[in-house]
């Protein structure tokens, strides 16, 4: 399996090089040259597999340059850290299925990908005799999951940027209380988009990227998307009837829902992907009206979705534009110049054939947490509540709707307490964060300052 860039200016590379490159050197995102097609017999067999075996079957199609026994060991080690024997169990509540993705070490769906990516990095760096400085931006969950994936690992430093005072308190503590020598947290005075923009700029500084061996853990890294593809197949296999389904995905950066799109292209019978946003609804406007124009970021009770510039959308646009990298380059040049991308009527129609969409504001989010808890006894975090509300409104009546539960409700205790009147019970690992020593650098949203910080600590 070879990999290319959405912008078409790199030579095809193998999976191992794709993992290590992160962002393509032409500024694009990395994708496989072709997506494997899965027939009905294979799908039926996959539906019966335990999670780790399924992960091996899916990932081995894409990671063809890693020996199978090594890949199996990496996968087994990555998911041994999950507290639930099914890794990502599915439960049915109030007519919808909920795919619980929060049983990893940091209680968020990012663990599914970042436990694997951390082990992949360690494996590849040892193989190559190299060192890496990971640079990433987070709106909340990616940072703690990435840190948990690489803390204390040989040959790796990690630098995580998060928007100062714009994550939940527990999210911040999960990052800043990790005091391993190879972990560095930066709180940027700005938004997640500011953090993400600084990271992209530094990756596009090719001389700096090469000198400091920058590696990516954000969902710009293909391995992250690939790891997430697995749980779409797994969830489908847990249903009583293996027929077409709707997946409702709370979405900010388009990475998680793009993994579902890849699963669909592989042959998973997905009727629709329901893209659910909060007030930062640029992606809802894109699906509903073809309006992809940047606005101001609004701070909400679902902070991991407080994003305007959805970096993973570029991967989907590559397919929307019929795998034409020149059109992708043109679109993102237009975005940089005017703050928007213009789509043809035919392109908008095609998007609407593949996606449903729903925007859920803060009041609706809190109401959903409260009503769902009252009716079922099940507690949703605010991001999952956005997806569940979207499912109940936009996919009402469909017999097989799977909502992705992206975080444990205790990670967003203030929002949950606001909704139901009492704080959610804290798992022991989260309760233990209170009062711990923390370490974090607070700085302006300034690329050069961040660059100097990396240089001084690499």
Tally helices (H) and strands (E) across the chain.
20, 15
Pair of tokens at residue 108: 């968020």
Contact 341, 334 (CB under 8 A): yes
Residue 283 makes CB contacts below 8 A (sequence gap 6+) with 251, 252, 254, 275, 277, 310, 313, 357
Q: Known catalytic residue: 131?
A: no
CA dist 354 and 62 (Å) reads 24
CA pair distance 360, 391, nearest whole angstrom: 11
Dist CA 408 CA 414 (whole Å): 13
Q: What are the phi and psi torsion angles at 35 (to 5°)?
A: -105, 125
Q: Are 123 and 89 in contact, with CB atoms under 8 Å apart?
A: no
DSSP symbols for 166-217: -S-HHHHHHHHT---TTEEEEEEES-HHHHHHHHHHHHH-HHHHHHTTEE--
Write down the catalytic residue from 9, 48, 110, 449: 110
**Cβ neighbour number for residue 69 with a 10 Å cutoff:** 8
A 10 A CB-CB count for 433 gives 16
Bridge-partner residues for 340, per DSSP?
293
Residue 86 and residue 244: Cα distance in Å, rounded? Answer: 22
Q: Are 245 and 273 in contact (CB under 8 A)?
A: no
Looking at the annotation, which residues are catalytic?
Answer: 110
């Amino acid at each position: 399996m070879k990999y290319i860039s959405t912008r078409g200016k790199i030579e095809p590379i193998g999976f191992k090089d794709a993992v290590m490159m992160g962002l393509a050197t032409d500024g694009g995102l990395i994708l496989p040259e072709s997506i494997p097609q899965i027939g009905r017999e294979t799908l039926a067999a996959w539906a019966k597999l335990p999670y780790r075996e399924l992960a091996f079957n899916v990932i081995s199609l894409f990671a063809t340059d890693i020996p199978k026994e090594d890949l199996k060991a990496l996968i087994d080690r990555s998911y041994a850290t999950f507290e639930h024997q099914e890794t990502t169990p599915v439960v049915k509540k109030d007519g919808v299925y909920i795919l619980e993705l929060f049983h990893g070490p940091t209680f968020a769906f990012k663990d599914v990908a970042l436990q694997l990516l951390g082990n992949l990095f360690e494996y590849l760096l040892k193989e190559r005799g190299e060192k890496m400085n990971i640079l990433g931006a987070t709106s909340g969950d990616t940072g703690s999951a990435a840190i948990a994936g690489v803390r204390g690992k040989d040959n790796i430093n990690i630098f995580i940027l998060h928007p100062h005072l714009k994550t939940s308190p527990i999210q911040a503590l999960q990052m800043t209380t990790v005091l391993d020598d190879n972990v560095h947290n930066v709180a940027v005075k700005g938004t997640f988009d500011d953090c993400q923009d600084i990271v992209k700029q530094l990756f596009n500084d090719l001389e700096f990227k090469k000198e400091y061996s920058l590696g990516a853990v954000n969902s710009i890294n293909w391995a992250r998307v690939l790891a997430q593809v697995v749980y779409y197949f797994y969830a489908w296999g847990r249903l009583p009837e293996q027929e077409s389904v709707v997946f409702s995905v709370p979405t900010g950066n388009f990475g998680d829902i793009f993994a579902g799109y890849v699963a669909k292209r592989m042959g998973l019978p997905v009727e629709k992907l329901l893209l659910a946003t909060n007030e930062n609804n640029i992606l809802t406007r894109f699906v509903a009206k073809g309006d992809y124009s940047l606005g101001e970021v609004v701070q909400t009770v679902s902070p991991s979705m407080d994003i305007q510039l959805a970096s993973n959308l570029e991967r989907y646009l590559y397919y929307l534009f019929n795998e034409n990298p020149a059109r992708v380059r043109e679109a993102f040049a237009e975005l940089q110049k005017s703050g928007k991308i213009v789509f043809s009527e035919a392109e908008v129609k095609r998007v609407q054939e593949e996606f449903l969409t729903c925007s859920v504001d803060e009041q609706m989010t809190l109401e959903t947490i409260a009503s769902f808890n009252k009716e079922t006894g099940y507690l949703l975090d605010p991001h999952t509540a956005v997806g569940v509300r979207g499912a109940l409104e936009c996919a009402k009546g469909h017999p097989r709707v799977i909502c992705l539960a992206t975080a444990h409700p205790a990670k967003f205790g203030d929002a949950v307490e606001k909704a139901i009147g009492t704080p959610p019970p804290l798992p022991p690992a989260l309760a233990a964060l209170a009062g711990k020593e923390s370490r974090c650098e607070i700085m302006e949203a300034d690329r050069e300052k961040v660059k100097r910080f990396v240089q001084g600590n690499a």
